[in-house]
Amino acid sequence: MTEKTFKLPDVGEGLTEAEIVQWRVKEGDTVAVNDVIVEIETAKSLVELPSPFAGTVSGILVEEGTTVEVGTPIFQVSPAGAGGKTPAKASGKVKEAAAPEPAAADGPPSSSLTGTGPKADAVRRRPRRSRATAVPAAPEAPAEAPRPADAPRAAVQDRFNQLIQRVLAKPPVRKAAKDLGINLADVPATGAGGEVTKQDLISYQAQRESEVDSADTFWSSSSKPQDSRIERVPVKGVRKATAKAMVDSAFSAPHVSIFVDVDASRTMEFVKRLKASRDFEGIKVSPLLILAKAVIWAAARNPSVNATWAGDEIHVKHFMNLGIAAATPRGLMVPNIKDAQDLSLKELAVALNELATTARAGKTPPADMRGGTLTITNIGALGIDTGTPIINPGEVAIVAFGTIKQKPWVLDGEVIPRWITTLGGSFDHRVVDGDLSARFMADVAAILEEPALLLD
């Protein structure tokens, strides 16, 4: 059997490239079908790729941090029982050490040094290892005077020592360290197994930032050449995809934006009651939940805001895949809740919590990023009053939710403090004209002013 080559697949609709974030295997490792071999970053999320082959990894063809196109060979596997090529990193040494010796042919086998299971050449390795085990008992070869034939074994042992000296850390910690430019070997480890934990990384980064703050400021010294004071950040992954999508949307869909101030005092009271309810125990509840329900309710009354412009057709969706714009360490992402119109208030709250947790961890699957029909962006979480959001490609409406804060408000002729927010909506004017956009926003505002309308 010949070596099998694994090419970077399209893990999402229309994916053209991805970055190799972290290899989970190395040359010489034994893998089974569906073992995770590599973590990649696409334009939408982090994805773990399983191996479609079983055998021994014979080649890692792309280095971590490299962006490659779909279809590019990224690693090779020698099927079990096949000769395959000698792993590049162990070239010569392993081959010499594996030469069989008749005197030890009946010795007992030993386990793999790396702990990953038997390799494709395990039959040839056994004589060497059994001989090494028998050496201390041989009178003509005292332990303090190793024979020249033991040199290959020493080389393999050195490789093993290098492996066990590798800094221990879970993949998310490694990814965070890479993003921060931190060498894990410099971080004091406090984990129970000697691994670097997330808290270790946070503490180290805080100390490093403190040292930087005390030594210098963000501004570089004016004595340095101007070009050396420019930080160059590669545009790739989510940032690259977001930039393209926003430009395409801004210059293809004629945007029109409208704003409305809303007295959300009753929404705040309703949220407070939900938090105290036993039915919502353990579930995070915020005003965003009520807004999400309001958008679903208002879209049912104004269906054309939940649609797609398709050139010579307008596709009105009789389902709501509600997108929630999320700011993550990897950039802006817009995962969506499928068939949100079918969810109860409690189910919607759970879905929002799961969406946020997954997005912050960078683990949103590509499927959750596709098929959105209408989007909410919660800019109020950052203390912003309102804004003019850009419509998510493929949709015709987006609602920006501003911060809720107490302001003077005229109610029944009296000026009193109330919880006020400002909603901003952007619409594709090819589908949603001024009248429709105004009615939709008025309906959303009505629910925030009186959540009891959701019971109708």
User: What residues act catalytically?
Assistant: 429
Buried b (16+ CB within 10 A) or exposed e, 355-380: bbebbeebebebebbbebbbbbbbbb
Nearest to 392 by CA among 318, 342, 321: 321
CA dihedral 207→209→211→213, nearest 10 degrees, is: -140
| Other CB atoms within 10 Å distance of the CB of residue 333 | 25
CA of 426: how far to CAs of 63, 182, 289, 321, in Å? Answer: 42, 41, 20, 18
Q: What is the DSSP string of 365-408?
A: -GGGGS---EEEE-GGGGT-----PPPPTT-SEEEEEPPPEEEE
Distance between CA atoms of 284 and 287, rounded to whole angstroms? 10
Distance between CA atoms of 19 and 276, rounded to whole angstroms? 45
Distance between CA atoms of 42 and 236, rounded to whole angstroms? 9
Distance between CA atoms of 265 and 370, rounded to whole angstroms? 35
Exposure of 350 by Cβ count < 10 A (0-12 exposed, 13-18 middle, 19+ buried)?
Answer: middle
Task: State the DSSP code for 136.
Answer: G
Say if CB 425 and CB 399 are below 8 A apart: yes
- For 364, list phi and psi in degrees, rounded to 5: -65, 120
Residues in contact with 330: Cβ distance below 8 Å, sequence separation at least 6, in sequence order: 41, 46, 237, 238, 362
Distance between CA atoms of 103 and 107, rounded to whole angstroms? 9
Distance between CA atoms of 181 and 166, rounded to whole angstroms? 17
Q: Token digits for 83?
A: 């000769």
**Residues β-bridged to residue 41:** 19, 46
Q: Where are the alpha helices (DSSP H) in 253-301?
A: 265-276, 287-301
